[in-house]
A and B are shown apart, each in its own frame.
Chain A
Amino acid sequence: MEGKLAAIADAAKGAIAACGSLEALEEIRVRYLGRKGELTELLKSVSSLPPEKRAAFGAAANRAKQEVSALLESRKAGLSAESDARRRKADALDVTLPGRRAWVGRRHPLSQLMDEVIEIFHGLGFSVAEGPDCETEWNNFEALNTPRDHPSWNLQDTFYLEKPPNLLMRTHTSPVQIRVMESQKPPVRIIAPGRCYRRDAIDASHMPVFYQCEGLYVDRDASLADLKATLTYFARQLLGEDVKIRFRPHFFPFTEPSVEYDFSCVFCQGKGCRVCKQSGWLEISGAGMVDPNVFNKVGYDPEVYSGYAWGMGLERVAMLRYGIDDIRLFYQGDLRFLEQF
């Protein structure tokens, strides 16, 4: 019996040492230590031995079983580590290979800018107001103190509809001012973003359509200084704290006093460069105090209320902000352009 025990134990140890996989090791465990394993069977046969031999043999057999068991465990640990290492090696990727991407789109630069402009004016209390693209002569011209024979009512620059023939494509977003003032009492604080139309031949700086974001503030004591401060705040929020603003006298039928406003050049900080034609200033748009005649047309008392209004071409601001030199790019849908924003 002792001889047999030693032979089995040696065979088991040899098998464990030679074993190369966790599966084979499990087979070895079953073969020797399983319920019907060779060592298990041998241990069971202890009872058939004479009582005086039982203790010694039993102890030897248990020892052998523990030895085999321990060897199994340590071999298992070794094999697990090897297998784990193999798996890790097999799993390893060239993580510098490109990932699997999905298409990514961009919102139009004018949409992004419009959102930003609206947000800045929201902070000052201006709400968004809207009107239709197809407007009446009253809203677009007459109520804005521009009678038909006025040089500013330039028929050549205005698109008219064939039907109904008295409608035109608004030439500015100012008709929204009229719509708002005709429908509510002061105070008024609105911005009117929207598309405008002019019969301009298409070139690098002209399109027959363009976006404006007009503003109007009417209250008991609105002043030209407030207008300047409002536009300065806007310019600094949008383009940086160093931006300065300049008013130049101008003429619009619907404002008096009327100004054109310029921003200090964002490209050269006002020192003079190609973009600002060495002037240090960039022309933005027109503004002014609402003309009393406009108030009269909408039924506001110009002795009680004053107001300021300004226009702003979104393309112009976007071109300055991003350094875009051709207005046509906004309307071509060229992905090489759109994907840069």
Chain B
Amino acid sequence: MKISYKWLRELIPFDMDVSQLADRLTYAGVEVEAVEELDGPSTPSTELGTGPLGDRPSTPLGASDWRLELEVTPNRPDCLSLLGIAREIRALCGGEIVQPDCLVSEAGADANSLAKIIVEDKEGCPRYVARVITGVKVAESPEWLRDKIESVGLRPINNVADVTNLVLYELGHPLHAFDLDRLADRTIVVRRAKAGEPLTTLDGVERKLSPEHLVIADAKRPVALAGIMGGADSEISGSTRNVLLESAYFDPRLIRRGGRALGLKSDASYRFERGADPLALERTADRAARLIAEVAGGQVAKGRIDVSARKFPESWQVELRPERAEKLLGIRIPVERMLEILRALEIGAIRTGDKITATVPSFRRDLEREVDLIEEIARVHGYDKLPDDHAPVWSVPARTRPKDQNLRAVSQAMAGLGFSEHYGLPMSDPERLQNLFPKSEPVRLANPMSSELSVLRPSLLPGLLEALAFNRNNGTADVRLFEAGLVYLGKGEQPPEEKPMLGAVAIGNSSPVSWDRNPRVYDFFDLKGDLESLMAALGLEAETSKADGGAPSWPYRGRAAAVVLGRRTIGYAGELDPGAAAALGIEGRACCLEVGLAPVLEAMEAGRGRYAGIPRHQAVRRDLAVSVAEGTDYGAVKSAIMEAGRPELESAELFDLYRGEQAGPGRKSLAIALRYRPADRPAADLQAAQAQQRIVVILGKRFGAEIR
């Protein structure tokens, strides 16, 4: 809501410049979002001081004005007017409000004989009050009125419409003026729209309505969307002679739903959906009728048409226990001060025993409970009076959960291996996913912002690869990123599974450029090494096996592997399939890793180990050089060795892989360092030799291995 500084001072004189006013309001809970300086009118108004308003401005026109943009919280519809803001200022700073003049001089026929109001939907419209003004002359508003309208950021339309807008801003209650002669049978019917019923609203848009919309109709057709926007057909125009002025109260929920369904908002709907004051109808109608008669001529017909299905209470009582306030706020506010604050807010307050009985006026519908009054007292008393020392400390401090400690260890280990942490968006583009996970059926958002962010990610890799490409496109050639985060797997009618994953991508050189090392492209074995180092840092050992049929399509078959922890495949590691890389616009060998974090964290938890002692004697090292057929996997050879070498064999490390003449055509030579740690020390050499012999035999049998 926008208000004018100058206009506000007409309602309550105060001694604050605009920035002091802005601070004061902000401190009291009405946030001033912007202050705009306004130019004075180009020519001094001749109507100055002789205008129809009894409460003429005390600030001379021609001086500059300021427009304040206020953010009023949804619980305070009473603040959506200059009068409401004036009430706040009075509560905060004192002073007297100059009440707008609502005295009407009536003449001629009774309004009830000039128009008829029928309220069919009494739930949607519990109160409808109307005034009739006859013989108006619709014209441009006088300058003082145009200035006021412009000072709150509106565009002047004509004298009748401008008055309704002025009263809306002044008193906060929305009004609507109909051209009475254009209402069929001079009748207003408040009802639900029929399905498909058309209405062209004031903004020129023809809208198809449905029964969820409350409309103001005449005897034949809808003429306005109740509480939201008028219709073009019954609009006040140059030819309008007789005006029906509507001052009604509509059900906030209905206005909210109706406006939302049409995507339509207005100054009126903004107030109705937050809850207008049902007891302000008469006063508002009178104020507007008075002003219309003054600026557009005409006569205000006798009496009001009042169709009220429901009686709203003028006020209600709430009890307040001062000691409860003290307990909740943590400071003592004297009861006298409490009474003073409540009274300044137009809340009747009397002390009855050790309680305060408060009488809340109808425009403060947000004050129903004791706690609501406590907030009012605290707010006006000032939150700056709350002490800020001695934070309450729970006697036992909390500590990081083991799970979180382990998760942090994973992240720190990844950073130690040179990967920087990425936070990817949890929403993803289903088309990009298709490329990497053709079989995935991601969880879809019902109302995405765009198709690029329309599903929840089933994997961290699309986001990581996007970041990889982003870095490459911005001149960073060596990219190493990881993310530890959730992915979302659809479970039909059950909530999606939110699964923690560890993902990583790397591309570029295997190590930083150096003056005495030739750069090497980071490839599968670098990634595998990083994975092994990660596991070692976490006290775990993961194996790799050939990517199986269940693998997604991103791993480049032959240069990617399944990651196995314990007996479970927990993910995949390897180079990105060249086809997928091309589709993502990535040049070079991009390496990717994605594993489930839960099994890793569980294994870390389980592996909080026991000390195994230091071996009492040294290991016996024997090297083994064998040649096997090119197609033989090292992994198979190694597991055969480990199996045959038991129990003496402790480890087997490949230290050379040779292909060439000496290995023979179609063969490769493996040089493996074997470490034996036989239990019996004197016989160690003999036992190691026997184990080595078993290994040689098995390798020969299984792989046709030749000892070299």
Nearest chain A CB to B538's CB is how many angstroms away? 16
Residues of B close to A165: CB separation below 8 A: 446
- The yes or no answer to B339 lying at the interface (CB within 8 A) is no
12 contacts between A and B (CB under 8 A): A104-B415, A107-B412, A108-B420, A123-B393, A124-B393, A222-B392, A224-B386, A228-B387, A247-B386, A251-B74, A333-B424, A333-B468
* B454, closest chain A residue (CB): A162
Pairwise interchain contact B375-A257, C-beta atoms closer than 8 A = yes
Q: A125, A160, A225: which contacts B329 (Cβ < 8 A)?
A: A225
Residues of B close to A122: CB separation below 8 A: 397-400
A163 to B464, CA, bound (A): 26
Pairwise interchain contact A108-B422, C-beta atoms closer than 8 A = yes
Q: A102, A292, A335: which contacts B471 (Cβ < 8 A)?
A: A335
Given contacts A127-B398, A151-B256, A223-B329, contact A335 B479 (CB under 8 A): yes
* A199, closest chain B residue (CB): B449
7 smallest beta-carbon distances between A and B, as pairs: A125-B394, A103-B418, A333-B467, A225-B330, A223-B330, A249-B29, A251-B73
Residues of B close to A189: CB separation below 8 A: 394, 398
Residues of B close to A333: CB separation below 8 A: 422-424, 463-464, 466-468, 470-471, 481
- The yes or no answer to B27 lying at the interface (CB within 8 A) is yes
Chain A interface size range? 35 or more
Q: A102, A162, A248, A339: which contacts B29 (Cβ < 8 A)?
A: A248
Interface string of B539-578 (1 = CB under 8 A from A): 0000000000000000000000000000000000000000
Pairwise interchain contact B476-A259, C-beta atoms closer than 8 A = no
- The yes or no answer to B60 lying at the interface (CB within 8 A) is no
- A residues 229-246 near B (Cβ < 8 Å) are 229-230, 232-233, 244-246
Task: Give the contact stretch, choosing among A45-53, A73-81, A128-136.
Answer: A128-136
Task: Give the contact stretch, choosing among B169-177, B491-499, B621-629.
Answer: B491-499
Residues of A close to B400: CB separation below 8 A: 118-119, 122, 128
Nearest chain B CB to A65's CB is how many angstroms away? 47
Residues of B close to A332: CB separation below 8 A: 467, 470
- The yes or no answer to A201 lying at the interface (CB within 8 A) is yes
Task: Give the contact stretch, choosing among A11-19, A21-29, A30-38, A93-101.
Answer: A93-101
Q: A105, A111, A230, A338: which contacts B391 (Cβ < 8 A)?
A: A230
- The yes or no answer to B694 lying at the interface (CB within 8 A) is no
Measuring CB to CB, which residues of chain A are less than 8 angstroms from any residue of chain B? Answer: 97-98, 100-108, 110-111, 115, 118-119, 121-128, 132-134, 149-152, 155, 159-165, 167, 169, 187, 189, 195, 197, 199, 201, 207-209, 217, 221-226, 228-230, 232-233, 244-251, 256-259, 289, 291-292, 306, 330-336, 338-339
A335 to B470, CA, bound (A): 10
Given contacts A103-B512, A333-B464, contact A108 B423 (CB under 8 A): yes
Pairwise interchain contact B427-A208, C-beta atoms closer than 8 A = yes
* B23, closest chain A residue (CB): A279
Pairwise interchain contact B390-A229, C-beta atoms closer than 8 A = yes
Interface string of B395-412 (1 = CB under 8 A from A): 111111100100010011
Pairwise interchain contact B389-A246, C-beta atoms closer than 8 A = no
Q: B252, B330, B444, B468: which contacts A162 (Cβ < 8 A)?
A: B444
- B residues 243-280 near A (Cβ < 8 Å) are 252-253, 256-257, 260, 273-274
Pairwise interchain contact B74-A134, C-beta atoms closer than 8 A = no
Residues of B close to A208: CB separation below 8 A: 425, 427, 449, 453
- The yes or no answer to B50 lying at the interface (CB within 8 A) is no
Given contacts A105-B414, A125-B396, A334-B471, contact A155 B391 (CB under 8 A): no
- The yes or no answer to B474 lying at the interface (CB within 8 A) is yes
Given contacts A103-B480, A224-B378, contact A161 B446 (CB under 8 A): yes
Pairwise interchain contact B416-A105, C-beta atoms closer than 8 A = yes
- The yes or no answer to B189 lying at the interface (CB within 8 A) is no
Residues of A close to B257: CB separation below 8 A: 149
Pairwise interchain contact B378-A124, C-beta atoms closer than 8 A = no
Pairwise interchain contact A247-B383, C-beta atoms closer than 8 A = yes
